[in-house]
Each structure stands twice: as C-alpha cells, then as structure tokens.
Chain A
C-alpha cells in the first residue's frame, strides 16, 4: 500500500501498483461517479461555455473551467513602459516579490505566504525550478518575451505539471501578431532611466500562409548606482552613516526569443520556441566598497517543440506533445574574497530534457484530461572551495495525472477532480575527499500522490463561486539532500514538504449598476494551508548547518481584488491581502511565531485616467509587518511605494514617463540589501 508522499529509501524497492493507493482510488472513483451523474442527467444544455469547445490552446489552462484562484496579466501591461517582470507581478493579489537590489538583481516570488522554493514558475507550461536550489530568479526573464502571465494561487491546474505548495506562475511567451490578434507586426522600444540604465528592445512578426514567426530581442544595461544610506554595519552609530551610491550592482542583460508556428493542416500544427538569456550581474559587498569585482554570470536557454493534434481520434479529442530542453550555466566569481569570506570561484551547469504528452476528450457535459511527462535533469558543479570532488547529480521524474471536469445544473456547476502521481528519483554520484576516501553513490526516491478537487459555480460568466482542496508537495533540493561545500551538510533522510490547501472564493461583477459606475468586479477569497515537514537549515554551535524537517505551519489569509471603472476612461484596481501564519515546531524560539519573509498586510492601488492621447497612472503599494527571521526578533521596515506615470500616444508610437518610488524608500526585502529609491524612466515605443 502506498501512502501519499511516500519516500523510498536507499534500497531499491519494487514499484507498487498504483491502483493500490487508497487516495488515488478515491479520486478515480469520484471522477467516475461524477461522470455517471452527468450521464444520468437529462438536461437541456444551457451553454455557459462554448459547446464544449475550449477557448485556450491545447495543453494550456482552460480559464473558463478552472476553479483555481487566478489572475492574468495581459500584454498591454507589459509593453510601452519601463517595467520589469518583478514589477508587474508585485501588483497582483497574493503575490509578493523580494528583490535583493537594483535592476536585474535576484528577485523571487512569494505566493500566499509560501516561500519562493514552494512556488513553481513555468515557461509555457515547462517548470523552470531546478533540482539544485528550488527558487527561480524572475529578474532573468525580460517582459519583452512575454505574451501574458497566469498566476494560480494555492492550487495548480492539471495542465501545469509539478503541482506546488504555493501555487504556480505560468509565463507564456509571445507569438506572432496574427496569432495574438495584435494589429502591429513589429515594435521598437528604447528606454533611458535613472542609475545609468538603458534598454533597447525590438520585435518583428512575420506571418505568411501557414507560417507564423516572431523574433524578439532585448538589451538592458544598468549601473544600478542608486543612492542609499550606508550605516557601515553600525545600526547604533549614526555618526558613521553616509549617503553614497551603490557600488558593483550593475547588470548587462541580453535576451532573445524566436517562435515559429507552422500549421500543417486544420488538424495539425507545430511550434518551435527558443528563448536565450545572457546576464552579467555584479554583486555588491556588505561594505559597498567601490573596488569589489564579484560577479555572477548566467546563461540560460529554453527550447520547446510541440505539436497539437485537433480532433485526434474523434471530434473534440485533442492532443499535445511537448519536447523541452533547458540549459543553465552559472559562474560565480569572488576570487578576491570581497563578498564572501573565502576566495571563491564556482561554476554550475544544469541541464534538463523532457517530454510531455497531453490528451483531452471534451464532451458536452464532461471533459477528461490526461498528462504524462518524463524528464531528466543533471546538475554539475565545480567550486574552488570544494575540498572534495563531486560528480554529476541527476533527478529523473515521471508524472501521471488525470482530470475529470463535469458539468451540472445546466453547466453552471463545474466539478474538477484531479489525481496526480509522481515518481522522482535522485542520484548522487560518488564523492572523493581530499584524503582519497570515497563515499559511494546512492539514490533517493520519492513517490508522491497529489489529489485535488475544485468546484466552480457560475452565476453568469463573470460571477462565480469557487472552492478548492488539494494536497501538494515540495521535494528537497540537491543542496538540501546532498549538501554543498564544507559548512553546508546535506540530509539524505529529508522528507518532502507537504501541504493540504483549501480555499473558497467569490467573484462578482456588475455592468453599469449605477449611472456613475460603468463596470465593477469584486473578488474575495479566504484560504487555509496546513503545511508539514517544512525544511529548515539548523546550525550547531560550530556553525555547521544541516537541513531538517523541523516545522509544521498553518498559513491562512484573506485576499480581495476590486476593479472599478467609474467611466470608460477611468479605472481603479485595488488588491488587499491579509496573511497570518503560525509556525509549529519543537524549536522553542520558532514555535508559535509568524513565518518570515512575507508582509502580513499588503494593499496596492492602481488608478488610470485615459484621455484621447494622454493617459495617466498612479500606483500605491503599502505593506506592513514582515519578519526577517523565524524567531520574530528582526522586523523589516514597512513599505510605502508611490509611482506615477504619464503617456502620450501618437498614431504609431508613444512616449511614457514614469516616476517610481516617489517617497524615495530604499526598501530591504532581504536584510541589509537595499533596493533603489526615487527613479525616473523615459520610454519611446514605435509600432509598425
């Protein structure tokens, strides 16, 4: 009998038959039951969706049926101004970004209080999180390659494999103008901004007969020499404080996207997509010394090939086959020991190759969806600090998932039942230390079962009630399992983190309810996540850290989105998020405390006033109550950000002026890592 989240030890065991799993069986039975109920109904169909035709592309999340709390960032918010991916994500309810410095600095996402390791970031449905470390640096992905961003909070739709504790962010890359229904086939954009920042980007779309091609490139360079108060490490001595410019925080970033879609026939179409990022990032020291030369260089490519088959074996039976490959090379150079404590040069290479098969069968009152995916990831690193020789680490993963979507009550009530089964096998190659002693290779395996149920009741297309419950897991990373250099030991006995997530949400929309209110939409939701076996690195008195499953936690919260359009040229968006958490652990100083690294209260306001050729935007972002530490002794400063922008539109171009962080706050999302204060940017866009 397999238990949910079973971890298999170093011994090789036989794979138990899946059907013996009690939870999987329950999920399948529920799906079959709902299917039977659907067939038993003899209802005239009042179609609230288009006769079973899915609006999304094959293999993508169907927004009309998904019950996951979600939001979408469309392309218009990503174009024509100087914003980064972290900037736009920060404005979404439930999302908090943490940045370690200026443009291009490490930026990670927290989703409903779940840490960045617990949030999976996808690029066109392919997970970007690596087995080595877990978090994704979102500053690596420029907005110019993005078509839209889908954020799923708390529950992960089936179309996205690798379900995670916090939820999912799916970044969908751009495609040709014809396929995007974009009247412009090309765009050139140039920006200048504070802190010696320059950005140049362009895209061109070509569509001819069956071919659709998009090419896009972007170059960003910034010195990030923003001013801040350097307290010289002496918080209680203001006499040695000095206002100075940030040193060695510069970035140079090139990215390219090539997308080619070919429509073989009405039934078959294919897509090839390649994204390349190349970034050189300087790393500032704690003392902000101008002589520091430490840097982190990242080169990454993401390749995707997929084929869609419409009406594969019958009407409304569709298939999608994806082949994906990712390569990431990171070089960290602190040879002069100016940032870390030792002279260090390290290089790591991550490669991932996988294939995913998706099939769906769409009947009028129910849909079946099926995903199976196989991937293999290798991680190889060399470090000048390493006192041992470590070979290649590998992670192989197999996923098998099925979803039943059933409609009841004239398609007003939608029930999603998902069962996912994952097998993950990690292999550490043998380790040879400096004395010649050899630690033999060993394996760790995980078998995970993640069932989830979602329900959605549609009052109309814009007013609906949703509820979700599901179980999610996070497998330990290589560093957590196998350790790093010297002081960072691994723990091969780590269990995966797991969470039982529940949420309820209600979305209500009005159209012209009052004379002074053109349109309005309100979303309110509550959630409760019970997380077990949180992994925390615990240090002994000699400063040697070992990760351990040390905590359980409860994270619960309330979130709300209010969208008002008083008139056609006014729009107001407000997001409110209240998060509470409790750490439950045997570590006395952590027990009963709030989890660190997220703000417990956040409010963001966005107002736009659009005239004929001018538009004006005001944004406010207020955050309160964050702790840097698990003992809740170090409280972060509150965040009060105010941004203004003005845009002048011409026939084929526009000019955008932004003033960010008018209150000039050097927010520290990471302790002692200031971010830029007041800044200006000017962007010129030309569309053709």
Chain B
C-alpha cells in the first residue's frame, strides 16, 4: 500500500514535471515564415518576399510579391503581416495572411481625410487581434486601429496625441514602438526638417486607457523619458533585464556622432548609454544604425562608417567586448536591418547583395543566405 502511494506520488511528480516542460516548450511558437520588405536599388519599386521552409526543411525565398513603390516596411502579428507604405509610396497599410502573401485582406489609408499632410506611417505595434497602434512619422497623432476591421470606417478607433513633443517643423517624428507589460513605449526622433537638433524622447502610454503615463523625470516638463542619444531608430525589449534598448543614429548630414545604444531600465526609467558612437575625431564604429537583441547579454548592431561601408558588430554585455562579425559579407558592406527569429537566429538584410543572411549568434557564422532579388529592408516573422 505504502509503495503504491509512493509510486503514485512519483508518477504524479513526473507528470507534473513533464507538463511543465511541455508548457515551456509550447510557449515558444516557432516562426512559420519570414516576411521581407524589399526595394529596388534605385528606389524605383518595391515588393515583399516570403522566406519559408519546404518539406525538407530547406529555406526558400519567394520574391517580388505584390509590387509597389519603394518606401515600404513590414510588421507582423501572429499569422498575419502588414505591409506599410510610407510617405513616398501610398501612405497606407495592407494586411496579408502569412499563408497567402499575394492576396491583400484589406488596404487602408493612414492619411487624415482631407489633409494635405502625408502621414508617413513607420510602424504598427499590436496589442491584440483587434487593437494596434500606427506610428505616423509625418503627424503628431498616432492612430489606434482595429487590425480586424472589415471596413475602413471601423479601422481607426482612437488617437494618441504626441503634439507636446513636436518641434519647429510641427511633428515629433515618431519612429518605433514596443509594448511591454501593458505599456506602449514610442521613440520620438524630434528632427527639425531632417536636422538632428533636438533631444529625443520615449513616450509611454497605457494600452488599456490610451493615456500617456508620466515618467516623472526630474526637471523635465515633458512626460516622456529624455534620451541621451539622438535620432532613435530601433527600440527593443529584453525581458531578463526588464530593459528597453534604444538605438540612436545621430546625424548623417552633417555627420554628427550624437547616437549610440541606450538602455532604459523599466523599473526605474533611468537611461544608460552602453555604447557611445564617439565624436568627430574618434568614432570606432561610425554611426550606429541598426540594433538586435539576441539575449540578455548579447546584442548586435551595425556600424555605419560610410555610405557603402557598414559592419555588423557583436556586443557582449557581460564583458563589454565589441567585436566585428566573422561573416565576411557583413564587414564593410551594406546592412539595412537586423531581426531575431523565434529560434534566436539573427537575420541580417544585406542590401549590397540583395540577400538575407541568417547568423547563428552562438558561433557567429552564417547558417543560411536567401537571395531576395530586390534589396532587403526589413524582416519580420509570422507564426
């Protein structure tokens, strides 16, 4: 009897342990495919490409889907992806299913009706299947939208007012966003007619109420978090350290090294510059233009030394060591974007060779390369 009870207990324990392991495994949903925004080298056209695995597990690229103008990017949520046409394309968003990348589900404009101003949508950040935010770089107002809307009238469901951050050109240039624990963090470039002259910010909103949250930064009249680096492009959350990493480019023209990589501690809302791009005399990496967070200790960024001279660098946060990648094509090349998939692989947009290169951060080696015909600009993943 005692033995039976012990065996039952052991079996229960074993079951409990295996269930826990199964839960841990099933919480990571493997990407089904990668969606790549691609553009012609002369910016005369654009399209998207799909990189998926065939029956043998070999990655294949299907290119030049649904051609359009060149000023495009992509975003994804679950099984769907969204192609965003910016200022010099259509100023719209088109929804596709990851299983049918050639048939638009819907396409809606992001311009304000009757306005001459181009909204220039930059990013789409998702709360759920029925709520998302559209960051409109050409406006002071971000839209709250319903991605499941079946008519255009149902698409826009609210607004976030960021006009407090507007500078002399009238808009704050919202560039990227991230939702963490019910809060939306929006990076604001605050460029004045393209000039990088103002302090950049990260504004915080409650995704349940769409109200701005005051970060209560001492001495600052604005509610957001002022950044030490300028011209933010990428904003990425790292869960282990509960931090957001922000990449700041500084200025291309005139060349000014006011960027870097900045870490925001979400518990204290304090910022730390972990990589400074240097100054006019000393700038070992050039401007810092892209960022990917592989783990709590490993980051990758792109150093922009010159127009056709970009290098992928690996940063070990534990040792503070920064090393250039061992992948030859990604040294002194042209790199448009960095993305990390569900398996922790780094996807690099090599726009010098119209190729997406997949790097294993553990070994810093290239594990795959997919030709996209047009130059890759942004990679996202659908489930």
Which A positions have Cβ atoms within 8 angstroms of B?
232-237, 239-240, 285-287, 289, 291-292, 336-338, 341-344, 384-385, 387-388, 433-435, 437, 486-487, 489, 536-546, 550, 587-590, 596, 628-631, 633-634, 671
* CB–CB B118/A287 < 8 A: yes
Q: How far apart sit A385 and B280, CA to CA, in the bound complex (Å)?
A: 23
Which 3 pairs across A and B sit closest by C-beta, in order of nearness? A541-B336, A289-B116, A233-B90
* CB–CB A289/B104 < 8 A: no
Chain A residues with CB below 8 A from B375, complex form = 541
Chain B residues with CB below 8 A from A589, complex form = 40-41, 354, 373-374
Chain A residues with CB below 8 A from B114, complex form = 289
Chain B residues with CB below 8 A from A387, complex form = 194-195, 253-254
Chain A residues with CB below 8 A from B205, complex form = none
A629 CB contact (under 8 Å) in B45, B85, B253, B349: B45
Give B332-379 interface residues, CB cut-off 8 Å to A.
334-337, 349, 351, 354, 371, 373-375, 377
* CB–CB A630/B44 < 8 A: yes
* CB–CB B44/A541 < 8 A: no
* CB–CB A237/B106 < 8 A: yes
* CB–CB A342/B194 < 8 A: yes
* CB–CB A240/B152 < 8 A: yes
B42 CB contact (under 8 Å) in A235, A285, A537, A633: A537
Give B84-132 interface residues, CB cut-off 8 Å to A.
85, 87-92, 94, 104, 106-109, 111, 114-118, 120
Q: A240-B152, A544-B252 are in contact. Are A539 and B194 (CB under 8 A)?
A: no
Chain B residues with CB below 8 A from A239, complex form = 151-152
Q: Is B304 an interface residue (CB 8 A)?
A: yes
Q: How far apart sit A329 and B124, CA to CA, in the bound complex (Å)?
A: 44
Q: Is B167 an interface residue (CB 8 A)?
A: no
* CB–CB B67/A634 < 8 A: yes
Task: For A388, give the chain B residue with the smallest CB separation.
Answer: B254
Task: For B377, give the chain A residue with the smallest CB separation.
Answer: A541
Q: Is B29 an interface residue (CB 8 A)?
A: no
Q: What is the CB-to-nearest-CB distance from A631 to chain B, in angstroms, rounded to a whole number?
A: 5
Q: How far apart sit A629 and B69, CA to CA, in the bound complex (Å)?
A: 9
A selection of 12 A-B contacts at a CB cut-off of 8 Å is A233-B89, A233-B92, A240-B109, A287-B115, A486-B253, A537-B42, A539-B39, A541-B349, A546-B307, A589-B374, A630-B40, A633-B47
Chain B residues with CB below 8 A from A587, complex form = 41
Which B positions have Cβ atoms within 8 angstroms of A?
39-45, 47, 64, 67-69, 85, 87-92, 94, 104, 106-109, 111, 114-118, 120, 138, 151-152, 169, 193-195, 249, 252-254, 256, 280, 289, 304, 307-308, 310, 334-337, 349, 351, 354, 371, 373-375, 377
Q: A343-B169, A541-B335 are in contact. Are A489 and B307 (CB under 8 A)?
A: yes
Chain A residues with CB below 8 A from B89, complex form = 233
Chain B residues with CB below 8 A from A546, complex form = 307-308
Chain B residues with CB below 8 A from A236, complex form = 94, 104, 107
* CB–CB A235/B138 < 8 A: no
Task: For B112, give the chain A residue with the smallest CB separation.
Answer: A287
* CB–CB B42/A539 < 8 A: yes
Chain A residues with CB below 8 A from B104, complex form = 236
Q: How far apart sit A144 and B348, CA to CA, in the bound complex (Å)?
A: 59
Chain A residues with CB below 8 A from B373, complex form = 588-589, 631
Task: For A489, give the chain B residue with the smallest CB separation.
Answer: B307
Task: For A539, give the chain B residue with the smallest CB separation.
Answer: B43
* CB–CB A235/B68 < 8 A: yes
Q: A342-B169, A387-B253 are in contact. Are A541 and B120 (CB under 8 A)?
A: no
* CB–CB A233/B138 < 8 A: no
Q: How far apart sit A236 and B90, CA to CA, in the bound complex (Å)?
A: 11
Chain A residues with CB below 8 A from B64, complex form = 631, 633
* CB–CB A542/B304 < 8 A: yes
Q: How far apart sit A187 and B250, CA to CA, in the bound complex (Å)?
A: 63
* CB–CB B117/A338 < 8 A: yes
Task: For A547, give the chain B residue with the smallest CB separation.
Answer: B42
Q: How far apart sit A588 and B353, CA to CA, in the bound complex (Å)?
A: 8
User: Which of B42, B138, B152 lies at the interface centre, i.e. has the most chain A CB atoms within 10 A of its CB?
Assistant: B42
Task: For A628, give the chain B residue with the smallest CB separation.
Answer: B44
Chain B residues with CB below 8 A from A628, complex form = 44-45
* CB–CB A285/B307 < 8 A: no
A292 CB contact (under 8 Å) in B116, B193, B354: B116
Q: A387-B254, A435-B256, A541-B336 are in contact. Are A287 and B111 (CB under 8 A)?
A: yes
Q: How far apart sit A543 and B106, CA to CA, in the bound complex (Å)?
A: 28
A337 CB contact (under 8 Å) in B88, B107, B117: B117
* CB–CB A291/B138 < 8 A: no
Q: How far apart sit A529 and B337, CA to CA, in the bound complex (Å)?
A: 40
* CB–CB A287/B116 < 8 A: yes
A634 CB contact (under 8 Å) in B45, B117, B151, B254: B45
* CB–CB B90/A539 < 8 A: no
User: Which of A234, A237, A285, A536 lies at the interface centre, i.e. has the most chain B CB atoms within 10 A of its CB?
Assistant: A234
Task: For B334, give the chain A residue with the smallest CB separation.
Answer: A540
Chain B residues with CB below 8 A from A287, complex form = 91, 111, 115-116, 118
* CB–CB B252/A542 < 8 A: yes
Chain B residues with CB below 8 A from A539, complex form = 39, 41-43
Task: For B88, give the chain A residue with the smallest CB separation.
Answer: A341
* CB–CB B43/A545 < 8 A: yes
Q: What is the CB-to-nearest-CB distance from A290 to chain B, in angstroms, rounded to a whole number?
A: 8
Q: How far apart sit A88 and B275, CA to CA, in the bound complex (Å)?
A: 62
Q: How far apart sit A241 and B89, CA to CA, in the bound complex (Å)?
A: 17
Q: A287-B111, A337-B117, A341-B118 are in contact. Are A233 and B193 (CB under 8 A)?
A: no
* CB–CB A540/B169 < 8 A: no
Task: For A435, give the chain B residue with the smallest CB separation.
Answer: B254
Q: How far apart sit A239 and B151, CA to CA, in the bound complex (Å)?
A: 9
Q: Assuming A291-B116, A631-B373, what are 18 further A-B pairs, CB within 8 angstroms?
A: A233-B111, A235-B107, A287-B118, A341-B88, A341-B138, A344-B193, A387-B194, A387-B254, A433-B254, A539-B39, A539-B41, A539-B42, A540-B307, A540-B334, A589-B40, A630-B45, A633-B45, A633-B47
Q: What is the CB-to-nearest-CB distance from A431 to chain B, in angstroms, rounded to a whole number?
A: 10
Q: A338-B116, A489-B307, A541-B336 are in contact. Are A233 and B254 (CB under 8 A)?
A: no
Task: For A634, give the chain B residue with the smallest CB separation.
Answer: B45
* CB–CB A631/B109 < 8 A: no
Q: How far apart sit A342 and B373, CA to CA, in the bound complex (Å)?
A: 32
Chain B residues with CB below 8 A from A240, complex form = 108-109, 152
Q: What is the CB-to-nearest-CB distance from B369 to chain A, in angstroms, rounded to a whole number?
A: 14
Task: For A541, give the chain B residue with the smallest CB separation.
Answer: B336
Q: How far apart sit A292 and B118, CA to CA, in the bound complex (Å)?
A: 12
